[in-house]
Amino acid sequence: MLASIQPLDRIALQLGPISIYWYGIIIALGAYLGLLLAVKETQRQGLPKETFVDLILWAVPIAIISARIYYVLFQWSYYKDNPGDIFAIWEGGIAIHGALIGSVITAIVFTRKRGLSFWKIADIAAPSILLGQAIGRWGNFMNQEAHGGPVTREFLENLMLPDFIVNQMYIDGTYYHPTFLYESLWNFAGVILLLVLQRTALKRGEIFLSYVIWYSFGRFFIEGLRTDSLMLTETLRVAQVISVVLIIVSIALIVYRRTKKSTKPYNEKV
């Protein structure tokens, strides 16, 4: 039975010499659904509906480039000898923390040029970003990457997973933790939480900072299960260190901004 298990085809469509990968399609789908969610909230907040369409035209390509640069820098020992692989993003290898850096910088410049509140836009975007991440992890699934350590088939079946997931976690003769799935489910739960928070009396910036805390908390523990982590040292995983730093900084910012009387409520449409 095990010998007959074949991974899912990573190529969704072949157009002559051009291969269209599921990885790219899934990432694009996550970005599109995130945009729809952001546009809906933008209209509820009384902002021009084209705000996020204009922003995403800049933010998505910059986020992908910065995510790739971040990944390549921490894997430079490999890419310095294989420079041609630097541009092969369809093979995977983009880091969400790099994408966030690029996205935040883009949003800061964009909001200043438009005369908008960065924190307001960040709060609107937070559930959309997390939704894109939740969907995007399934691109890792198709590439059989971002998985955890070895487990047994019985372990996976006891999680009540469908066969297509169990079989895709069979890689080179071994079953692995579906950490892509753990993170995807954690992120979907976070989307629901953030959508609820958008209807509460939080201050501007607190929904985005809550996103950072939620994602970082889950990522810290899930990262500990993974076998492909970017490493800062032999024992320190980059994503775990960054997650701890982001949690501390986000909590500090919430406390600090709560002391400022000028910080407006998120739902104030001014």
User: In terms of DSSP H, where are the helices of the chain?
Assistant: 22-44, 51-74, 76-79, 96-114, 118-143, 153-158, 163-168, 179-197, 206-223, 238-258
Q: Whose CA is closest to 142, among 23, 31, 24, 30? A: 23
Distance CA 176, CA 219 (A): 18
Residue 13 amino acid letter: L
CA distance 217 to 228: 19
150-151, strands of its sheet edge to edge? 150-151, 174-176, 170-171
| Nearest-angstrom CA–CA distance, 86 and 191 | 32
What is the residue-level pLDDT of the chain in tens, covering all 270 positions?
Answer: 455 788 999 999 999 899 999 999 999 999 999 999 999 999 999 998 899 999 999 998 999 899 999 999 888 888 888 888 888 877 767 788 999 999 999 999 999 999 999 999 999 999 999 999 999 999 999 999 999 999 999 999 999 999 999 999 999 999 999 999 999 999 999 999 999 999 998 999 999 999 999 999 999 999 999 998 888 888 899 999 999 999 999 999 999 999 887 889 898 875
Distance CA 229, CA 192 (A): 28
Question: 137 among the known binding-site residues?
Answer: yes
**The pLDDT of residue 40:** 95
Q: What is the pLDDT of residue 87?
A: 85
Q: Residue 179 is encoded by which pair of tokens?
A: 């950490």
Q: Minimal CA–CA distance to 210: which of 266, 126, 132? A: 126
CA end-to-end span of the chain, whole Å? 63
Phi, then psi, of 151 in degrees rounded to 5: -140, 180
Q: Are 19 and 156 in contact (CB under 8 A)?
A: no
